[in-house]
């Protein structure tokens, strides 16, 4: 192969490479075809507009419709497809367990107003509800409302050896939560007095037994406790000593 052919071959190779680079640049500069956006169908789901605790009452102001991907919908969710009037239907429902803000409302976490288990939803786990008869005199003039805490005092008439009788009062239960007065289980903001015939208290199993025994032994009075924590200071025993009552302290009798 002579020198002229070598030069021509080299020029051809360089030209082919240049043409390839030119074509590649033209292809890369061409605008790419637009990607077709995938549209996801959504469904409106009923959710909590704020955190809801056990015993809270639902209402239109705490329930919201929120768009939810259709492929993420559970059969347990309340949607506008299965109940368009769900917000109005649940206005009398009560929360059975904690529902956080934005969480879908499930029937398993609420008790509808017309359903059973309303009081069971308010009860603290492990506690019991017991109703007792009341009147204005035994319930601080009717100022005890649902949600208040009370002490339970038993008053008995005791007969002495000489046939005389005297009254004895003792606190049998302390800091007991009031669940309901008659059928009112939630105090209203502007409600000052509730005069009813029964009051429902929240007690442990042993506390329930103690209350029943106290009812059979004498009369029961409920004493309203303050909202703030803390016990009042009891009268000093010296006050009783000065009043003429005999006081036994550390095994010794004092006048």
pLDDT for 96-143, tens place per residue? 888 999 999 998 888 876 555 677 777 888 899 999 988 877 777 778
Q: Residue 248's pLDDT band (boundaries 50, 70, 90)?
A: very low
Of the candidates 226, 146, 129, 148, the residue with the CA atom closest to the CA atom of residue 188: 146
- Digit-coded pLDDT (tens) for 181-237: 887 766 555 556 666 788 999 999 999 999 999 999 999 999 999 877 655 544 444
- Laid out side by side, the sheet with 219-224 consists of 128-133, 198-203, 165-181, 149-159, 219-224
The model's pTM is 0.55
Of residues 245 and 87, which shows the higher confidence score? 87
Residue 175 CB-density burial (10 A; 0-12 exposed, 13-18 middle, 19+ buried): exposed
Given a contact cutoff of 8 angstroms between Cβ atoms, the answer to whether 68 and 43 are in contact is: yes
Query: Taking residues 155-163, what's their average pLDDT?
Result: 81
């Amino acid at each position: 192969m002579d020198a002229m052919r070598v030069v021509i071959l080299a020029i051809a190779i360089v030209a082919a490479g240049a043409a390839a680079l030119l074509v590649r640049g033209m292809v890369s500069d061409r605008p790419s075809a637009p990607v077709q956006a995938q549209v996801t169908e959504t469904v409106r789901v009923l959710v909590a507009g704020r955190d809801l605790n056990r015993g809270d009452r639902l209402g239109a102001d705490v329930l919201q419709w929120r768009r939810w991907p259709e492929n993420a919908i559970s059969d347990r969710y309340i949607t506008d497809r299965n109940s368009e009037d769900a917000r109005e239907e649940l206005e009398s429902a009560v929360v059975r367990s904690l529902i956080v803000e934005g969480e879908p409302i499930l029937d398993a976490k609420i008790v509808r107003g017309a359903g059973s288990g309303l009081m069971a939803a308010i009860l603290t786990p492990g506690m019991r509800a017991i109703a007792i008869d009341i009147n204005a005199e035994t319930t601080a003039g009717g100022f005890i409302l649902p949600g208040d805490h009370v002490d339970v005092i038993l008053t008995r008439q005791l007969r002495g050896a000489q046939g005389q009788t005297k009254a004895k009062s003792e606190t049998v239960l302390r800091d007991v939560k009031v669940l309901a007065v008659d059928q009112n289980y939630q105090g209203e903001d502007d409600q000052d007095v509730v005069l009813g015939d029964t009051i429902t208290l929240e007690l442990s199993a042993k506390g329930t037994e103690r209350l029943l025994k106290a009812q059979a032994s004498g009369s029961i009075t409920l004493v309203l406790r303050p909202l703030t924590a803390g016990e009042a200071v009891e009268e000093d025993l010296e006050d009783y000593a000065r009043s003429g009552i005999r006081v036994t302290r550390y095994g010794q009798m004092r006048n």
